[in-house]
Structure 1
Amino acid sequence: MKQDTYYAYLDGLRDSGLINMFGAAKYLEREFPELGHREAVSVLHGWMESHTQGGVC
């Protein structure tokens, strides 16, 4: 599932500590050219929601 790939990328980005995750959509767009801006924002939102629900974020 592609979402797992996106979420794993976001986990790695978060773990790097190099960026504020609220700006991560542009990194998703660069890493995964098939994502447009709206899709990248949607993926990021879903990732944030999943981590908030799990208490990890």
Structure 2
Amino acid sequence: MYRGDQLVHMAPPAGQVPRLMEQLLTWLDTTDAHPLIASAAFHYEFEFIHPFSD
């Protein structure tokens, strides 16, 4: 995604999305972080991973 001429986000290649999502879900399942912190971190990482422009 560009803002003017500046690249502000480059999603990972589509072929990496399944692996990245698996890693993220495994982290979510095993983390000892407080649920509020875990949900915020999950949302941040999910938004980074998903290969769609908003």
TM range (shorter): 0.3 to 0.5
TM-score normalised according to structure 2 size = 0.34
Higher percent of residues as strand: 2
Higher percent of residues as helix: 1
Higher relative contact order (CA 8 A, sep 6+): 2
Higher Rg: 2
TM-score normalised according to structure 1 size = 0.33
